[in-house]
């Protein structure tokens, strides 16, 4: 496997969202991901980074690292903040629910785009979303 150095993208503003998306794309292309999976990854990273920008008081970080399991190559994406957290994660995972007036498809859409998805949140302490997409 071609291993990549871990990538940390600090999200403070809209330009940081674009940079995280660009770096995710470059990582996936370097590892030889098929185009459709590259675009799924880019969309998920955009959603996660946008959530950090909108909901976390001081932004957060998107971490991208290459992984290997069972002969498959993947990219793990972790979006983490120390913001207000999510009071009701089950509600936040429902299509159409939004606290910011959006479409309410960010977290549930990200879950559908990625192969693995986990979320941990504690009100007043922050949120951590961990996702993985495999090359096939």
Question: Does residue 27 have a pLDDT over 90?
Answer: yes
Rounded CA-CA distance 71/100 in Å is 41
Q: What is the pLDDT of residues 4-26, one digit of tens each?
A: 999 999 999 999 999 999 999 99
Cα distance between residue 7 and residue 25, in whole Å: 12
In the chain, the domains with their CATH numbers are 7-134 (3.30.565.10)
Q: What value does the mean pLDDT take over residues 110-126?
A: 96
pLDDT averaged over the chain? 92
pLDDT tens readout for residues 57-89 = 888 999 999 999 999 999 999 999 999 998 889
Residues 72, 93: Cα–Cα separation, whole Å: 28
Under 8 Å between Cβ of 55 and 68:
no
């Amino acid at each position: 496997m071609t291993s990549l150095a871990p990538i940390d993208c600090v999200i403070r503003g809209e330009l940081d969202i674009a940079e995280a998306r660009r770096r995710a794309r470059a990582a996936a292309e370097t590892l030889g991901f098929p185009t459709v999976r590259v675009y799924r990854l880019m969309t998920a990273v955009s959603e996660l980074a946008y959530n950090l920008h909108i909901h976390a008081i001081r932004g957060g970080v998107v971490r991208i690292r290459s992984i290997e399991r069972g002969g498959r190559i993947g990219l793990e994406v972790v979006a983490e903040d120390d913001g207000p957290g999510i009071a009701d994660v089950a509600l936040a995972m429902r299509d159409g629910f939004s606290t910011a007036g959006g479409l309410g498809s960010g977290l549930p859409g990200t879950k559908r785009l990625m192969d693995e998805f986990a979320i941990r949140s504690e009100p007043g302490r922050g949120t951590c979303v961990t996702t993985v997409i495999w090359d096939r």
